[in-house]
Amino acid sequence: MLEGMIKEVLIDEKQLKDRIKEMGKNITNHYNEDDEIVMVCILRGGFIFMADLVRQVELPVSCDFMDVTSYEGGTTSTGNVRIIKDLEESIEDKHVLIVEDIIDTGLTLKHVINMLKTRKPKSIKVCTLLDKPERRTEKEVEADWNGFEIPNEFVIGYGLDYDEKYRNIPYIFIPEPELYEG
Ligand code: XMP
Ligand code: MG
């Protein structure tokens, strides 16, 4: 399926598995057993990471999902963040843990955090699988837990898409330009 389309496998399955296990431990250690915690997955990119991460968290968490979009099918941020699907449950007085696939410019996260803050949660923390720190001029949004810092390259796989495809690839790779050209 991807023959000649992969420039570099950036993070393989074993690396993902090991790191996510560690992150799950760190998150487990941060909260208390009787905290009311809602893990908020940012769709769609976060769904695979969320599924793997939540199984490494040894706390009675609930899971909720929010669909926002900042990219309109291409590979660069437009700065537009749109809420497509909101949370099902109230987060008032709960500990919110936002689960993101990637922090790029940080615009998406900034919008989501500001919006969720108005709903009076007890706390808001952020866990991201990938971070492109180079892309942020103002360091105002940072993750509390960060899986991997990556260079400023468009990456695909493990939840991340190109034009809604390849989210099902079990590792993270940098594509060859041929992939975009179809
Ligand atoms: P911002 O710039 O708001 O972007 O932090 C966050 C969202 O943009 C998407 N994104 C990517 N998607 N490969 C992708 O497939 C990438 O390299 C990439 N960089 C950003 C992603 O949906 C993320 O939530
Ligand atoms: Mg995308």
Task: Tell me whether residue 1 is in a domain.
Answer: no
Q: Rounded to a whole number, what is the distance in angstroms from the first to the last CA of the chain?
A: 12
Task: Tell me whether residue 146 is in a domain.
Answer: yes
The pLDDT tens digits for 151-169 are 999 999 999 999 999 999 9
- Ligand 1 centre to CA of 22 (Å) is 23
Active site residue 64: no
The pLDDT tens digits for 32-91 are 999 999 999 999 999 999 999 999 999 999 999 999 876 555 555 555 677 899 999 999
Q: Is the CB of 108 under 6 A from ligand 1?
A: yes
Domain range enclosing 65 = 6-29+37-69+79-177
Tally of domains within the chain: 1
Say yes or no to pLDDT of 1 above 70.
Answer: yes
pTM of the full predicted structure? 0.93
**The CATH number of the domain where 96 resides is what?**
3.40.50.2020
Task: Tell me whether residue 182 is in a domain.
Answer: no
What separation in angstroms does the CA of 139 have from each of 92, 98, 100, 144?
A: 27, 18, 17, 13
β-strand partners of 98? 40, 126
- Ligand 2 centre to CA of 135 (Å) is 16
